[in-house]
Amino acid sequence: MTEQDIEAFKTVLSQHWPPSSSEKVRRYIGKFYECKRIGTKIVALVQGNHGVYTVSIQMTEQAITSACSCYIGKHGYCHHCAALAATFLNDPGSFTEIVPKRLEQVQDVPDLPDYLTHVTLDELIGQLRAKGITQKAFAESIGMSTRHLSAIKSSERGNRRFHELGAVKLACLWMMEHFDQVKK
């Protein structure tokens, strides 16, 4: 993200989350850790009332989306998201820029988590679809119901993680790598 991109992101954040006088928001501003900036997305962790929450905000050309793993933050309408926006507005330099690995850069097992962390299950399912493998066919091939696969995708969007997420992502990669053999 260039300085110009950061300024555009800050403008959008300040329009979407105007300065808040809410005590609930203020008590979390500046309390985030593991603050990361990945392209036009910011992600951080914060200690909440019921554990550690993962909070994210992403700007796309169409919209700004946010999510929090707290019980009300599924669609980003919580005070943790507002506090993350304010934290970024106050100190964008406190967010470490992360350049995600592309699949072709994965050379060894230690590289794999860097790739899997930054690719979403939605993206991988989309890549399978482009190869002619439907979500239903993929789910059935790994012995999972389509409903469960949809729940895993949905939970990832809301910053919640099913234990199977990494394994399902690896299964997607395997299917893409072995597509010709699977299709026969």
**pLDDT tens readout for residues 101-155:** 788 888 888 888 878 888 889 999 999 999 899 999 999 999 999 999 999 998 8
Q: pLDDT, tens digit, for every residue of 21-34? A: 789 899 999 999 99
- Quick: pLDDT tens for 68-83: 988 887 777 899 999 9
Helix (H, G, I), strand (E, B) or coil at 51: strand
Domain extents in the chain: 3-97, 103-183
Residue 87 burial class via C-beta count within 10 angstroms: exposed 0-12, middle 13-18, buried 19 and up = buried
Q: How much is the pLDDT for 17?
A: 86
Q: Which one, of 65, 71, 76, lies nearest residue 51 by Cα?
A: 71
- Residue 73 or 90, more confident: 90
Q: In angstroms, how far is CA 137 from the centroid of its own chain?
A: 25
Three-state DSSP at 59 gives: strand
Q: Would the pLDDT of 1 be above 70? A: no
Q: What is the mean pLDDT of the chain?
A: 87
Q: Which two tokens stand for residue 95?
A: 């967010």
> Which secondary structure element, helix H or strand E, spans residue 34, and what is its range?
strand 33-38
pTM of the prediction? 0.73
User: What is the pLDDT, as a whole number, of residue 117?
Assistant: 80
For residue 84, the model assigns a pLDDT of: 95
